[in-house]
Structures are given as structure tokens and as C-alpha cells.
């Protein structure tokens, strides 16, 4: 039943497990934000989208299996889909509002955080207590006799989807016509307009698609790990993921690394405490932020601006 | 961008927004938390809670989070539900009220709009300054706060109640020690502050009273509700071979469910979580707020109030008063364990055994409670406890 003690090996294992389990929400939100920002808009509201996604996924998964008689193998997937769609609705609101003349997208984003979390809390009241069927996992650890390893290697198919999506998105930006449109709109809207591309339409689609991904990120939280709906489930992960895009220099593949890194860093504190390292607990819990600061300091340079930043980011349409 | 057909001047929009906001603010559109507005004149009577004219006593409950969280708030909501069905009582509830000025607004609304004559503030941070301030403005309304913050010299319409969990956690610790095969207990706590430390220590003292060599590792997550960290902490403890997980965070749901997934035994807190872990749940201390609330209601119905001195300003109790109890036992709690716990409980109730009986050392070896000294759970010395008992691995700072 219980595992034999792993001792210090538990720390790297715990971090690995945290990376595999905890990074999916970061990954989806940062990829969604990456797509949005590439088109020249910022969507801070993804924190609200993440919460709405988590709530709707959990609610639908529970309702579908308990009330509508849909088998538990299907209902979580239905939840994931609905979470994505709920994200798209919030994304549409953001896209529509933030493209009105003289509207600041950061201000709209903050409003959308409040709106998204408010919606999620309001409709989520009834779903805090029930238990919803969870997404299936792919068990890669069955070769090992150790339950700790088996548990660490229970990977969500959504995570694999996210990992595959990152290089796919990089390829999309680099090598496709549509990717070129997105980059053009984000870097130089005037040039895009001259090319005959509708700036509004491209941004609208990018924001909606990005919010779809963020909604799925929410589903990872509520249907995979930690696998429940509570109002504090995101604890700021959506906002961190938005910051992570800057950290990853607007590159989807680097978003993947950054997400893995943040997911793993989250687990450092608990893993070290479990082997009895109690000194500097606060420092370990603050690890993700400290590491981010360090990397920012190391990689920054006074001689050039942030490379990779879309040119039109942060400008207000007149 | 000239292809906009509907053009509304900005000033008009701003004017409209202001007008709506002003209307909303003055009419208090959102304060309709009761279905039928009660006559507010009842608050102007001399004795707010007197049952004159057959009017129901309206009691307002304020929670700091949703009331179905398998935790602290659910325990209170269960207690509130227990008195809601009593004749002559009407309860109103509001969830997710932060410990800010907003709680004052909520209290005022409950009193002015819904005619509440008793307000029960269930969260620690509601007391100072919020309850204190509103109590001044409504001298006829009784304010009951859940905590130990009441002291002499406060306004007469303020009272407090609290349940001490030490004895419950002591018993839960005894159960955990007997059910554990490896003799290693993991504890997921929020912050190293007095109530959490008391919880940990009494659990450990209970466990050690059965198996003196038992070990415990504490993980502090850093805040009351961090679901991802709580799950990570439980998984890390599972990886290290801890086979019983105890918990003190706002909602133990994540920890209990994660422990169940990993095939561990778990001991809950706040309210009954046995439905979450049908295999591994042992038991856990539950608050019986219903006992306290019923007690209050009976006093109020007899015309006694805090203001006329019929109700004591402070009620604090433990297992003997039935303010706390143990949750439904899980399947791992075998018959001999049940018998042992019944016997231990009987001793705690009649006072022939106590949780804190010297000599008790902290985990660095220093004697914290000298030999021959015993502390009842209500002893004020215990509220200063800032150490972890012998056998617990962890640091309080």
C-alpha cells in the first residue's frame, strides 16, 4: 500500500512529477496569450478565462455524467470542449471591446479578469461539493514497481496535446500564410492593411483562439490536477502565464520550456519539506518568482530592446 | 473606422453609466438576500431578540467562502441548517464575504433590510474592527463572533463562541497511530500559527500515546487555500512513504482526494469528508456548531439576550460540551480501534485524562510543559503555543 521511503530521490521525482502535472495550465494559457500577443493585443483577462474554463469543465463533466446519463468516459471530454467554448465567449467579449476606438486593451483585460472570475464564482457555487469524473491519464510508469514513480508518470493527454501544440504553433507563425498575417498584424498593422488583411478580423480570431486554449488550461486544473473546482484553484496561475509569454520572448517553443520550468518550480517547496528540509521554506515557495527574476536579470541587456516583441503591442487603435 | 452605424456620444454614455450607478447605489439593488423583506421596525424594540408578537427571530450568518467547501464554512452552514428548521427562527446567510469593510456593509444590510436581530460572524478577521464598529451603531442587535477574541470591556451586545479541537485531534491521532502500518504520519498545514500548531501537537500527542516512536513530517503550504500546492504536498509525502495524511487548511478536499488516489489513509478536519475517500478516510475532528447555535436559540427564545445578561458573553468548549466530535469512521478503523477511541473519549469527557499533560517536550528537546503540570484545553497558556511537539519534523518559522 504505502511506498518505501524514497529519501532524497523524492526531491527530483517530486519536481519531475510537478513538472508533468502542474505545467499544463501554464502551457495552455501561455500559448493562448502568445497567439494573442503576436497579433498585437494583450489579453490579461486569461486569468478569468482560466477560472471560467475550470468551472465550466468541472460543472459539465459532473452534470453530464450524473444528470444527463452520459458515460464517464465521455463526460470529461465534453467538459473540456465546453471549457474551450466558454473561453471563446470571454475571448470574443475581450476582442470586441478592446478593438473599439481609443480603448486600452490592458484596462479591458483587468475588467475581464474580474468578469471571468465573477462568472465562474457565481455559477460555480453549486459545483464545489460534488465530485466530477476526471480525465483519463496515460500511465507511462507501469514499468516501475514503485508507486511513487507510477503516480509521477500519470500524464494527462491534454498535456501531451499542449506539448505538441507548441512546435506546431511555432511552425504556424514561421511557415504558413496565416501565420504571416498574424505576425504582420502584430508587428506592423499598416503594412498588414496595405497587404489587404483585415486587422480587426485577424485580431478577433487570434484572441478567440487564444482564449479557447486558456479555457482548456482551466479544464486541466479542474479535471486533471489538482482535480476539483474551488474558487482559489488558479491562485494567480493565469496572470503568471501571461507574464511567462514575455519571459519566453513570444516564442511558442520557449513558452513550453518556461511552463515546464514553472510547473516544476511549484513543486520544489513541498518536495523539500517532505524530506525534512524546513529551513528557508518561504524562499522555496517563492522559487518560481525568484528564478524568473534571476533569468530576467541574466538575459536582459541595456543595449537592445526586448527581441521578439510584436511591434504593435501596447499601442492603442485610434 | 467610419463604418459605425450606431453612434452614441461619449458624454451620453458616461451620463447613463453614472445615473445607473447612482440608482443602483441608492436603491441597493443587490441586497435582496432574503425573499420577503421583514419589518425593520423590529430592530428598534428595546430587546432585539425577544419573541414578542410571535415574530420570528432572524439570525444572519456571514461566511468568508462558499458554504459547501467541505471545510470550516460548511461546518458552520450545517450548524445553521440545524437551527433553520426550529420554529420561530428565520436564518439568512451570505457567503464569500471578505474580511474587509464589505462585511460591515453586509451586517448593516442584514439588520436594516432583513431585520436580523442576531448576527453571527463566522470568520476570525470579521471581529476587529468590523463587528466592533457595527455593534456600536446597533446597540439592540446581538453580535456573535466565532473565535476567542472576546474580552472584558467590550460593548454589551458582543459575544463570542468557540470550539477547541485539541481533544478531537488527540483522538484522531490515536486512530491514525493504530491504523498506520509504517508509523510515519504526514501533515499538510497552512501556516505555522497557533491554531495550526495546536492541531498538529494534539494530533501527535494522541498518536504518541499509542505508539511512542511514531514520526510526523509537517509541510506548510503557506496559505489557507492553495489547491495545487496542497496536492503537491500530499504527493510528496506519499513519495516519502508516509501512510497517513492529516490536514489543517481551509478546505481539506484536495488533500483527502489526493491521498485517496495515492492509496493512503487520511484524517480530515472541520467537517465530515468521509464521502470523498471511501477507502482511506479514517476520521477527523468536526465542529458541532449546531450544538452551540441551538443553545443560543433556546436562550433567545426564553427572552434572554446578551444585552440583558441572560446570555453569557463567551462560550468555549470542547468534546465534553459536544462542541466538537469525530467524523464518520472509515473502513480502516477496525473494531478494536473503535473501542479504544470510545474509552479514550470517555476519559477526556469525564476529565480523568487530558491532552496536555507534562512532561511535554518540543521537537528540539526543550521541556515546554513541565512534568506534573496539566493544562485543560481552555487554559490561556495554550493560546501562546508556538512550538512543535517531540517527534514532529518541521520548523515554526
Query: Is A2 inside any structural domain?
Result: no
Torsion of CA B201, B204, B210, B213, to 10 degrees: -120
pLDDT tens-digit readout, B124-136 = 889 988 999 999 9
Of residues A85, A38, A80, the one with CA closest to residue A57: A80
Pairing of strands B158-163, B314-317: parallel
At the topology level, CATH places domain B39-163+289-317 in Rossmann fold (3.40.50)
pLDDT at position B160 over 60:
yes
Phi, psi of B271 (to 5 degrees): -140, 180
Instruction: Specify the 3-state DSSP secondary structure of B276.
Output: coil
- Alpha-carbon span B51 to B289, nearest angstrom: 23
Residue A226: how many other CB atoms lie within 10 Å: 24
Choose the closest CB to A278 out of B225, B227, B395: B395
Q: CB-based contact (8 Å) between A302 and chain B?
A: no
pLDDT of residue A248: 86
Q: Classify strands B89-94 and B57-62 as parallel, antiparallel or unpaired.
A: parallel
**Alpha helices (H) in chain A, listed in sequence order:** 10-38, 46-66, 75-98, 105-124, 147-152, 157-175, 177-187, 189-195, 199-223, 237-247, 252-274, 281-285, 287-299
Beta bridge partners of B146: B161
A136 touches chain B (CB under 8 A): no
Q: What is the CA radius of gyration of chain B?
A: 24
**What residues of chain B lie within 8 A of the CB of A279, using their CB?**
395
Q: Cα separation of B159 and B182, whole Å?
A: 46
pLDDT at B271 over 50: yes
What's the angle, vertex CA B264, arms to CA B260 and CA B268, rounded to 5? Answer: 70
Residue A7 domain-assigned (yes or no): no
How many beta carbons lie within 10 A of that of residue A112, not counting itself? Answer: 26
CATH class (in words) of the domain with range B166-285+324-393: alpha beta
The answer for residues whose C-beta is within 8 angstroms of residue A303's C-beta and 6 or more apart is none
Residues of chain A with Cβ-Cβ distance to B81 below 8 Å are none
- Residue A179's pLDDT band, with cuts at 50, 70 and 90, is very high
Cβ atoms of residues B188 and B233 within 8 Å? yes
Contact A270 B236 (CB under 8 A): yes
Is the ipTM above a cut-off of 0.90? no
Domain assignment present for A10: no
Q: Is B62 helix (H, G, I), strand (E, B) or coil?
A: strand
Say whether A225 and B228 touch across the interface (CB within 8 A).
Answer: yes
Cβ atoms within 10 A of the Cβ of B342, count?
Answer: 11
Contact flag B239-A3 (C-beta cutoff 8 Å): yes
Predicted confidence at residue A4, as pLDDT, reads: 53
Cβ contact B228–A226 (<8 Å):
yes
Residue A77: inside a domain: yes
CA B210 to chain centre: 28
Q: Average pLDDT over chain B, rounded to whole?
A: 86
Task: Name the residue in chain B with its Cα closest to that of A25.
Answer: B228
Which among B93, B235, B255, B256 is the top mutation candidate for probing chain A, defined by the most A β-carbons within 10 Å of its own β-carbon?
A: B235
Q: How confident is the model at residue A3 (pLDDT cuts 50, 70, 90)?
A: very low
- Which residue carries 489547491 as its cell? B227
- A100 vs chain B: nearest CA distance in angstroms? 9
Q: How far apart are CA B387 and CA B397, in angstroms?
A: 10
Contacts of A18 in chain B (CB under 8 A): 232
Calculate what percentage of chain B has a pLDDT beyond 90.
56
**Would the pLDDT of A1 be above 50?**
no
What is residue B50's predicted lDDT score, i.e. its pLDDT?
46
Q: What are the pLDDT digits (tens) for B214-230?
A: 999 999 988 888 899 99
pLDDT at A222: 93
Would you tell me which residues 7-66 of chain A have a C-beta closer than 8 angstroms to some C-beta of chain B? 7, 10, 13-14, 17-18, 21-22
| DSSP single-letter state for residue B115 | -
Q: What is the domain partition of chain B in residue ranges? A: 39-163+289-317, 166-285+324-393
Cis ω before B11 (30° cut-off from 0) = no
The set of cell numbers assigned to B327 is 467524523
Per the listing, cell 437551527 goes with B83
DSSP B64: S
DSSP code of residue A59: H
Beta bridge partners of B389: B362
Domain limits at A286? 20-136+145-298
Task: With CB atoms and an 8 Å threshold, state whether A131 touches B276.
Answer: yes
Highest mean pLDDT among A76-80, A233-237, B151-155, B378-382: A76-80
CB contact under 8 A, B227 and A233: yes
pLDDT of residue B43: 40
Q: Which residue has the cell 451620453?
A: B12
pLDDT, one tens digit per residue, over B33-57 is 444 433 443 443 444 444 455 678 9
Omega before B169 within 30 of 0, i.e. cis: no
List the one residue out of A51, A31, A84 whose CA is nearest residue A244. Answer: A31
**pLDDT tens per residue, range B286-326:** 999 999 999 999 999 998 999 988 899 989 989 988 999 99
* Least confident range of A49-58, A268-277, B73-82, B191-200: A268-277
**Binning pLDDT at 50, 70 and 90, where does residue A290 land?**
confident
Chain B contacts in chain A segment 137-156 (CB below 8 A): 147-148, 151-152
Beta-carbon count within 10 A of A30 CB: 35
Give Cβ neighbours of residue A304 (< 8 Å, ≥ 6 apart): none
A76 interfacial to chain B (CB closer than 8 Å): no
Total number of domains constituting chain A? 1
Question: Nearest-CA neighbor of A51 among A133, A95, A112, A2?
Answer: A112
- Whether residue A67 has pLDDT greater than 50: yes
Domain assignment present for residue A6? The answer is no
CATH of residue A171:
1.10.3470
Distance CA B309, CA B306 (A): 5
Amino acid at each position: 500500500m504505502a511506498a518505501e521511503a524514497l529519501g532524497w530521490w523524492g526531491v527530483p521525482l517530486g519536481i519531475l512529477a510537478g513538472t508533468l502535472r502542474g505545467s499544463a495550465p501554464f502551457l495552455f494559457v501561455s500559448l493562448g496569450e502568445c497567439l494573442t500577443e503576436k497579433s498585437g493585443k494583450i489579453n490579461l483577462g486569461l486569468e478569468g478565462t482560466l477560472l471560467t474554463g475550470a468551472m465550466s469543465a468541472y460543472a459539465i463533466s459532473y452534470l453530464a455524467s450524473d444528470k444527463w446519463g452520459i458515460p464517464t468516459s465521455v463526460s470529461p471530454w465534453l467538459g473540456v470542449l465546453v471549457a474551450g467554448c466558454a473561453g471563446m465567449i470571454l475571448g470574443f467579449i475581450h476582442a470586441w471591446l478592446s478593438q473599439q476606438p481609443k480603448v486600452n486593451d490592458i484596462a479591458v483585460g483587468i475588467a475581464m479578469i474580474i468578469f471571468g472570475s465573477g462568472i465562474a464564482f457565481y455559477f460555480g457555487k453549486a459545483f464545489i461539493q460534488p465530485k466530477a469524473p476526471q480525465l483519463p491519464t496515460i500511465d507511462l510508469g507501469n514499468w516501475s514497481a514503485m508507486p511513487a514513480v507510477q503516480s509521477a508518470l500519470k500524464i494527462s493527454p491534454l498535456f501531451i496535446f499542449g506539448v505538441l501544440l507548441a512546435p506546431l504553433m511555432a511552425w504556424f507563425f514561421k511557415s504558413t500564410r496565416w501565420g504571416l498575417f498574424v505576425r504582420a498584424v502584430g508587428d506592423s498593422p499598416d503594412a498588414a492593411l496595405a497587404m489587404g488583411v483585415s486587422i480587426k478580423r485577424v485580431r478577433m480570431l487570434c484572441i478567440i483562439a487564444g482564449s479557447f486554449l486558456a479555457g482548456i488550461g482551466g479544464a486541466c486544473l479542474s479535471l486533471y490536477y489538482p482535480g476539483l473546482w474551488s474558487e482559489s484553484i488558479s491562485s494567480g496561475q493565469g496572470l503568471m502565464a501571461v507574464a511567462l509569454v514575455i519571459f519566453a520572448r513570444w516564442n511558442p517553443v520557449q513558452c513550453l520550456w518556461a511552463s515546464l520550468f514553472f510547473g516544476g518550480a511549484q513543486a520544489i517547496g513541498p518536495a523539500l519539506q517532505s524530506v525534512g528540509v524546513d529551513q528557508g521554506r518561504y524562499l522555496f515557495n517563492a522559487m518560481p518568482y525568484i528564478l524568473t527574476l534571476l533569468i530576467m536579470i541574466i538575459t536582459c541587456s541595456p543595449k537592445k530592446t526586448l527581441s521578439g516583441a510584436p511591434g504593435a503591442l501596447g499601442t492603442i487603435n485610434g | 473606422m467610419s463604418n459605425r452605424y450606431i453612434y452614441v456620444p461619449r458624454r451620453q454614455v458616461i451620463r447613463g453609466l453614472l445615473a445607473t450607478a447612482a440608482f443602483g447605489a441608492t436603491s441597493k439593488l443587490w441586497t435582496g438576500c432574503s425573499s420577503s423583506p421583514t419589518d425593520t421596525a423590529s430592530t428598534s424594540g428595546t430587546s432585539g431578540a425577544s419573541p414578542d408578537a410571535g415574530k420570528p427571530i432572524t439570525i444572519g450568518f456571514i461566511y468568508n467562502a462558499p458554504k459547501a467547501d467541505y471545510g470550516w464554512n460548511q461546518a458552520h452552514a450545517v450548524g445553521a441548517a440545524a437551527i433553520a428548521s426550529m420554529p420561530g427562527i428565520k436564518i439568512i446567510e451570505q457567503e464569500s464575504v471578505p474580511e474587509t469593510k464589505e462585511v460591515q456593509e453586509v451586517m448593516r444590510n442584514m439588520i436594516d433590510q432583513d431585520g436580523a436581530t442576531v448576527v453571527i460572524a463566522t470568520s476570525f478577521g470579521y471581529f476587529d474592527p468590523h463587528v466592533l464598529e457595527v455593534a456600536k451603531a446597533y446597540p439592540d442587535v446581538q453580535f456573535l463572533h466565532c473565535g476567542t477574541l472576546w474580552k472584558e470591556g467590550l460593548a454589551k451586545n458582543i459575544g463570542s463562541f468557540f470550539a477547541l479541537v485539541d481533544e478531537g485531534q488527540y483522538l484522531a491521532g490515536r486512530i491514525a497511530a493504530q491504523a498506520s502500518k509504517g508509523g510515519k504520519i504526514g501533515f499538510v498545514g497552512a501556516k505555522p500559527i497557533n491554531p495550526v500548531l495546536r492541531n498538529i501537537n494534539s494530533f501527535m500527542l494522541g498518536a504518541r500515546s499509542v505508539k511512542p516512536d511514531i514520526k510526523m513530517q509537517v509541510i506548510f503550504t503557506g496559505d489557507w487555500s492553495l489547491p495545487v500546492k496542497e496536492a503537491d504536498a500530499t504527493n510528496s509525502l506519499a513519495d516519502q512513504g508516509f501512510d497517513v495524511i492529516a490536514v489543517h487548511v481551509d478546505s481539506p478536499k484536495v488533500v483527502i482526494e489526493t491521498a485517496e488516489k495515492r492509496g493512503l489513509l487520511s484524517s480530515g478536519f472541520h467537517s465530515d469528508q468521509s464521502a470523498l475517500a471511501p477507502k482511506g478516510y479514517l476520521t477527523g475532528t468536526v465542529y458541532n456548531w449546531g450544538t452551540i447555535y441551538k443553545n443560543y436559540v433556546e436562550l433567545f427564545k426564553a427572552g434572554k439576550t446578551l444585552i440583558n445578561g441572560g446570555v453569557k458573553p463567551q462560550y468555549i468548549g470542547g468534546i465534553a460540551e459536544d462542541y466538537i466530535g469525530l467524523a464518520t469512521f472509515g473502513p480502516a478503523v477496525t473494531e478494536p480501534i473503535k473501542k479504544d477511541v470510545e474509552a479514550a473519549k470517555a476519559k477526556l469527557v469525564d476529565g480523568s485524562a487530558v491532552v496536555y499533560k507534562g512532561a511535554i517536550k518540543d521537537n528540539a528537546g526543550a521541556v515546554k510543559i513541565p512534568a506534573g503540570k496539566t493544562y485543560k484545553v481552555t487554559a490561556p497558556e495554550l493560546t501562546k503555543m508556538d512550538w512543535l511537539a517531540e517527534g514532529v519534523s518541521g520548523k515554526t518559522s
